[in-house]
Each structure stands twice: as structure tokens, then as C-alpha cells.
């Protein structure tokens, strides 16, 4: 065979081989594409989003669930960096974690308890659980990641955790309410419990206000997180003003993410913050308000509001229980006082009656002797002393009989300012002798019905106490006014001195009969006891406010009765 024919034959044989190879290649391609379709179907059938990334941090493959969850199409995401799926605040640390994974690739299952967040194409974040697996190919190592949106699970876990803390805090609050603490001390402990719940995004600053029973005003009762250098911005808030006042007035929880136009009372330089202002309600009755501070820009949270609402419901129960206990103690005190006064009244009345007759005889004979003896004699001096002491004893007996009896008011229409002026005139020489300046601030009140003599006696007792507290002189201010509305109106008399004041210990006893901090030369020590009895017999009241070294204020209240029925 010639060389040319040999080469031709070889070429033809090689061509047949190449054709066979091409056919084999086609069969392999078809088989590969078939397997690829099966793999893609298998990949798309997985319930979780899946992606494949290379060592350059690039996404090379995703499944349909990925497109559905993250919002990217296949063509949009292929070739992009994985960082596009990570919130910006985590991207720096995430890149480091990816590098470490490829240095030492190993599988990581879901349920690693890591706080992981992913971000969708529209920028929305969601909590995620991610499993990682290294995949060795002919060319390089890939990482396969299965991503699971755990928003619902996280929400359930958070709700379970919140329910746990709600129950824990409320149980602790109830335990605190049973401890022998004042209401303010209980509130301090409760604020500490509320503001340290780990699952809530609250600042460690808050306050509890109570509604003033006599005014449309919230008064600060407890605070947490403030210091003398950085004090609580508000200690009193009128209802309807500022965020707290509006929440209380409307009985609705109010929220603010920053200092807005509702903050009428705050200074412009106050620290940035937001608020939850939650009324403390029992039914429709407002007891006060819980105010917790937030970081500026904090987003409103229904679970935080649920927690705070549960807390304020418990606070309302604690406040009502505390007030019921106080009312019970006051009733017990009144009962003891009534029993003691009844026994004391019977005893003193008997003693007074036994003494009055012989004392009247001594006084009568002393006055007759006084007329018979010479003016310049020693006997004249003695009879004068006897008459003075008898007069003093007669006044004491009068007070004792007045105290031991049951006063029946003699109502008549009187001008309050005129009656006060009469009581002042009766003592003006004593005021002048002790260098006490008397000031007046009378409200123009229409005449109303009260017992004139009882009020004068009450005022005289108060004036005498004021004079005793100002031995070196001072100032006495008497003012009048009206409190309340409609049929609940009361006339108020305030007698304020600049004397020594009364200590807290003595304040608890000032209305007790025969109790005094003065010496024996100052009478029966029944003045304030008689004053209270006279006022209470007319459905009125008497109260005292005092501070040692600054003076005392006595407040008398009488019903503003316009017509007798």
C-alpha cells in the first residue's frame, strides 16, 4: 500500500473514532443535563432557601425558595457577594467569619443559638438560622448554606419569654406589696424590677406618679435612674399637659420616640429620650401613671406595651390595697380615740362637777374679802392672787366640761371674715405685747351657716398656741379661701405662724387631749382637742402642717352651707 493510501486510511479511522467520541460526548452531555435537571429539581424542592458560594465570597447558585424568600431573581443574584444578604451593621464581622470558614471548612448545623439576621432585596431584615456545609469540587471548595426564616419561631419564643417575665415581675411586685414598707419604698423596689427585665429595650430610668385626690395633678412618688446631678425632669404634671398629663387625662397609653411637641414641661436642654406613659387604672378610676424612658428613636413595641399594661394593673391593685389598709388603720385609730375620749369625758366631767361647787365658793369669798381689805395691805395682794388663780381654774373647768360634753352647733348665717376679725380683736393686746405682726388675706366670701362661738373658741386656741411658739415675736398670717365645687365646697381658714415649728414625732400627738410640749403653767392642754371637736361637730376638719425652725400652719375647713334644711 502506498504511503498516501495509508495516511488516508488512518485519517478515516481517526475520523470514525472522533465521531464515536463526539457521540459519547453527546450522550454524556445529555446524561449530565438530565442529572442537572434532576439536581435542580431536587434543589428547588427543598423547603429552605439555599445558596452556593465560592471562596471569593460570590454566590454561584441559588434555588427557587431563595428567590422567593429574598426577592432576587436567579440572574440578579448570581455573581454577587454574599454580603448583599447581610445587614450592614454585621457585614464587617461576617466577611471575617467567611474567611475563617474557608480556612478550616467544617459543617455547621442549624440550631447553633447564634443571633443571625438576613436582609431581603427590599431591605427588610428577618432573624435566621443557617446551616453550612463545605463542598469540594474539581476546581475549588464551595460552601452550601441553607437559610431558614425563624421570625415566627422567634416571635413565639419572645412571647413565651415575655410571659415568663411578666409573671415573674408581677409575683415579685405582690411579694413587695406584702412587706412592711411605705408605698414610696414599694414603688422604688417595683421600678427596679420593671426596668431590669432583660427582654425589654427600656432605659434604666422611670417614675411612678400618683393622682392628687384634691387636684387635677400628678405628683411624683418614686423614681429610678436619676441622681441629684441629673434629676427627674418633672415632679408635678397637671392633667392634660405634657405627655404624662395627656396619658392620664385620656386614660390611654401614650408613646413618643423622641422629645416632641407633647413635652410642654421639659427644658430644651434635657437629655434625648422617648417614653411609654401608662395610666394606672382600676376600672375607670385613675390612680396615677407609670412613665418609663426609652432610647431616642426606639420603635414602638406591642409586647412592651402588653408588659407595662400588666404591670400597671398590678400597681392599681397594690395602691388600692394600701389605701384600704390606711383607711382601716385610721378607722381603728378613730375607734380607739373615741373610746378613750368617751371614758376620759365621763371621768373629767365627774371631777369637774365635784370641783366646780367648792371652787365657786372660794372665788365668791375671795372677791368679798378683796372688797373689804385695804388697798395698800398685804392681804389685798393675797386676795388678788387667790382671785387670779380661781379665775384660771374656772377657765380650766370650762374647757374640761366643754371637752367632755357633746357639742351641739348653734347654726346661724355669719360673715367668716367678720368672725375672724372679732377673734383677732379679742387677742390684739396679747399680739402687741409679744411683738407679733398680724397679716390678713381674706377671700371675698358670701355669708354661710356655721357656729360663730365654736369657731371663735377654735381660733383663740390656735392663736394662743401660735403666740407660745413665737416668744421673741414674729408674724401671723390668716387667710381664707374655698375648695371644691358645688355642694362639696368648703370654706378654708389658714393660720400660719413663723414660730419654732413642731417635730414629726410631736405632730402625731398634737390632737391628743392633755398632751403638750409646754410646761404646766400653760393650762389644760385641751386647746387643739377642743378645736377639732368643735370643727368635727360641724362636719368640718382641722389639719396641721409644720416644719421645725420654720413655723406651723393650721388649716380649718367648714362646709360652705348656704341654706339650712
Tell me which residue of 338, 333, 332, 336 sits closest to 536, measured CA to CA: 338
If one compares 132 and 358, the residue with the highest pLDDT of the two is 132
Overall average pLDDT of the 503-518 stretch? 62
> Do 11 and 35 have their domain in common?
yes
**Comparing 31-35, 119-123, 132-136, 268-272, which segment has the lowest mean pLDDT?**
31-35
Overall average pLDDT of the 319-324 stretch? 88
State yes or no: pLDDT of 156 exceeds 70: yes
Write the CB contacts of 162 (distance below 8 Å, at least 6 apart in sequence). 199, 303, 306, 307
**Comparing 272-276, 345-349, 419-423, 555-559, which segment has the lowest mean pLDDT?**
345-349
> Do 238 and 299 have their domain in common?
yes
| Phi-psi category of residue 90: left, alpha or beta, with phi > 0 → left and psi -120 to 50 → alpha | alpha
> Do 35 and 50 have their domain in common?
no
How far is the C-alpha of 529 from the C-alpha of 110, rounded, in Å?
A: 79
Q: Please give the pLDDT value at position 524.
A: 40
> Do 264 and 175 have their domain in common?
yes
State yes or no: pLDDT of 146 exceeds 80: yes
State yes or no: pLDDT of 289 exceeds 90: yes
> Do 229 and 245 have their domain in common?
yes
Per-range mean pLDDT, top range of 11-25, 265-279, 481-495? 481-495
Q: Please give the pLDDT value at position 397.
A: 66
Torsion from C-alpha of 81, 83, 85, 87, nearest 10 degrees: -160
Q: Please give the pLDDT value at position 268.
A: 45
Q: Please give the pLDDT value at position 352.
A: 65
Residue 397 domain flag: no
Q: How confident is the model at residue 512 (pLDDT cuts 50, 70, 90)?
A: low
Asked if 242 contacts 217 with a C-beta cutoff of 8 angstroms, the reply is no
Unique residue bearing C-alpha cell 481517526: 14
> Do 482 and 503 have their domain in common?
yes
Give percent of the chain above pLDDT 70.
Answer: 81
pLDDT, tens only, 184-195: 898 898 888 888
The CATH number given to whatever domain includes residue 257 is 3.30.450.40
Residue 488 domain flag: yes
Domain boundary among 276, 302, 323: 323
> Do 216 and 311 have their domain in common?
yes
Residue 201 domain flag: yes
**Comparing 64-78, 80-94, 252-266, which segment has the lowest mean pLDDT?**
252-266
The CATH number given to whatever domain includes residue 140 is 3.30.450.20
Tell me which residue of 380, 381, 386 sits closest to 366, measured CA to CA: 386
If one compares 520 and 42, the residue with the highest pLDDT of the two is 42
pLDDT, tens only, 532-549: 887 888 888 888 888 888
Residue 29 domain flag: yes
State yes or no: pLDDT of 399 exceeds 80: no
Tell me which residue of 131, 195, 127 sits closest to 156, measured CA to CA: 127
State yes or no: pLDDT of 437 exceeds 60: yes
User: Which residue(s) pair with 510 in the sheet?
Assistant: none
pLDDT, tens only, 455-491: 888 888 888 888 888 989 999 999 999 988 877 889 9
Write the CB contacts of 246 (distance below 8 Å, at least 6 apart in sequence). 240, 254, 262, 277
Residue 308 domain flag: yes
Residue 565 domain flag: no
Total number of domains constituting the chain: 4
> Do 416 and 516 have their domain in common?
yes
> Do 439 and 537 have their domain in common?
yes
State yes or no: pLDDT of 283 exceeds 50: yes
Task: Report the run of H or E that residue 553 belongs to, with start and end.
Answer: strand 551-559
> Do 181 and 286 have their domain in common?
yes
Domain boundary among 148, 181, 196: 148
> Do 422 and 521 have their domain in common?
yes
Q: Please give the pLDDT value at position 38.
A: 63
Q: Give the count of beta carbons closer than 10 Å to the beta carbon of residue 200.
A: 18
Q: Please give the pLDDT value at position 520.
A: 40
Residue 367 domain flag: no
Q: Please give the pLDDT value at position 104.
A: 85
Give percent of the chain above pLDDT 90.
Answer: 15
State yes or no: pLDDT of 388 exceeds 50: yes
pLDDT, tens only, 214-244: 788 999 999 988 888 888 888 888 898 888 8
* Average confidence score pLDDT of the chain: 81
Residue 548 domain flag: yes
> Do 32 and 71 have their domain in common?
no
If one compares 421 and 154, the residue with the highest pLDDT of the two is 421
The CATH number given to whatever domain includes residue 442 is 3.30.565.10
**Domain containing residue 551:** 407-559
Domain boundary among 307, 323, 339: 323
Q: Are strands 125-136 and 141-149 parallel, antiparallel or unpaired?
A: antiparallel
Overall average pLDDT of the 2-29 stretch? 65
Amino acid at each position: 500500500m502506498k504511503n498516501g493510501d495509508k495516511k488516508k486510511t488512518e485519517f478515516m479511522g481517526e475520523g470514525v473514532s472522533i465521531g464515536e467520541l463526539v457521540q459519547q460526548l453527546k450522550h454524556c452531555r445529555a446524561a449530565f443535563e438530565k442529572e442537572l435537571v434532576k439536581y435542580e429539581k431536587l434543589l428547588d424542592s427543598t423547603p429552605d432557601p439555599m445558596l452556593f458560594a465560592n471562596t471569593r465570597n460570590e454566590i454561584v447558585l441559588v434555588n427557587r425558595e431563595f428567590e422567593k424568600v429574598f426577592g432576587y431573581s436567579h440572574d440578579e443574584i448570581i455573581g454577587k457577594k454574599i454580603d448583599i444578604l447581610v445587614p450592614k451593621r454585621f457585614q464587617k464581622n461576617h466577611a471575617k467569619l467567611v474567611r475563617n470558614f474557608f480556612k478550616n471548612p467544617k459543617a455547621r448545623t442549624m440550631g447553633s443559638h447564634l443571633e443571625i439576621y438576613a436582609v431581603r432585596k427590599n431591605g427588610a431584615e428577618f432573624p435566621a438560622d443557617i446551616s453550612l456545609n463545605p463542598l469540594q469540587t474539581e476546581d475549588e471548595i464551595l460552601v452550601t448554606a441553607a437559610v431558614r426564616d425563624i421570625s415566627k419561631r422567634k416571635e413565639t419564643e419572645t412571647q413565651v419569654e415575655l410571659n415568663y417575665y411578666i409573671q415573674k415581675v408581677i409575683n415579685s411586685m405582690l411579694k413587695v406589696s406584702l412587706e412592711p414598707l411605705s408605698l414610696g419604698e414599694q414603688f422604688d423596689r417595683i421600678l427596679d424590677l420593671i426596668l431590669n427585665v432583660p427582654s425589654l429595650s427600656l432605659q434604666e430610668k422611670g417614675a411612678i406618679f400618683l393622682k392628687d385626690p384634691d387636684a387635677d395633678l400628678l405628683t411624683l412618688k418614686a423614681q429610678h435612674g436619676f441622681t441629684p446631678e441629673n434629676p427627674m425632669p418633672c415632679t408635678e404634671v397637671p392633667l392634660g399637659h405634657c405627655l404624662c398629663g395627656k396619658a392620664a387625662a385620656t386614660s390611654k397609653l401614650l408613646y413618643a420616640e423622641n422629645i416632641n411637641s407633647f413635652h410642654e414641661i421639659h427644658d430644651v436642654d434635657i437629655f434625648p429620650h422617648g417614653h411609654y406613659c401608662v395610666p394606672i387604672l382600676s376600672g375607670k378610676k385613675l390612680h396615677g401613671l407609670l412613665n418609663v424612658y426609652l432610647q431616642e428613636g426606639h420603635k414602638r413595641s406591642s409586647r412592651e406595651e402588653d408588659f407595662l399594661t400588666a404591670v400597671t394593673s398590678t400597681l392599681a391593685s397594690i395602691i388600692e390595697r394600701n389605701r384600704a389598709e390606711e383607711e382601716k388603720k385610721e378607722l381603728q385609730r378613730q375607734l380607739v380615740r373615741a373610746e378613750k375620749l368617751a371614758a376620759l369625758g365621763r371621768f373629767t366631767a365627774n371631777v369637774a362637777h365635784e370641783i366646780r361647787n367648792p371652787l365657786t365658793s372660794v372665788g365668791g369669798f375671795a372677791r368679798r374679802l378683796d372688797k373689804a381689805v385695804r388697798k395698800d395691805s398685804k392681804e389685798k395682794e393675797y386676795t388678788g392672787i387667790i382671785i387670779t388663780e380661781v379665775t384660771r381654774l374656772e377657765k380650766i373647768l370650762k374647757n374640761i366640761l366643754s371637752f367632755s360634753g357633746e357639742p351641739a352647733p348653734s347654726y346661724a348665717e355669719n360673715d367668716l371674715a367678720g368672725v375672724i376679725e372679732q377673734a383677732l380683736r379679742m387677742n390684739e393686746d396679747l399680739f402687741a405685747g409679744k411683738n407679733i405682726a398680724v397679716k390678713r388675706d381674706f377671700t371675698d366670701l358670701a355669708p354661710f351657716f356655721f357656729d360663730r362661738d365654736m369657731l371663735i373658741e377654735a381660733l383663740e386656741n390656735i392663736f394662743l398656741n401660735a403666740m407660745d411658739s413665737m416668744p421673741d415675736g414674729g408674724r401671723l398670717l390668716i387667710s381664707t379661701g374655698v375648695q371644691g365645687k358645688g355642694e362639696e365646697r368648703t370654706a378654708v381658714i389658714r393660720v400660719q405662724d413663723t414660730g419654732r415649728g413642731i417635730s414629726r414625732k410631736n405632730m402625731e400627738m398634737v390632737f391628743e387631749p392633755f398632751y403638750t410640749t409646754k410646761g404646766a403653767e400653760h393650762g389644760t392642754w385641751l386647746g387643739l382637742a377642743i378645736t377639732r371637736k368643735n370643727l368635727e361637730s360641724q362636719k368640718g376638719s382641722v389639719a396641721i402642717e409644720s416644719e421645725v425652725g420654720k413655723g406651723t400652719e393650721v388649716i380649718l375647713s367648714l362646709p360652705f352651707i348656704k341654706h339650712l334644711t
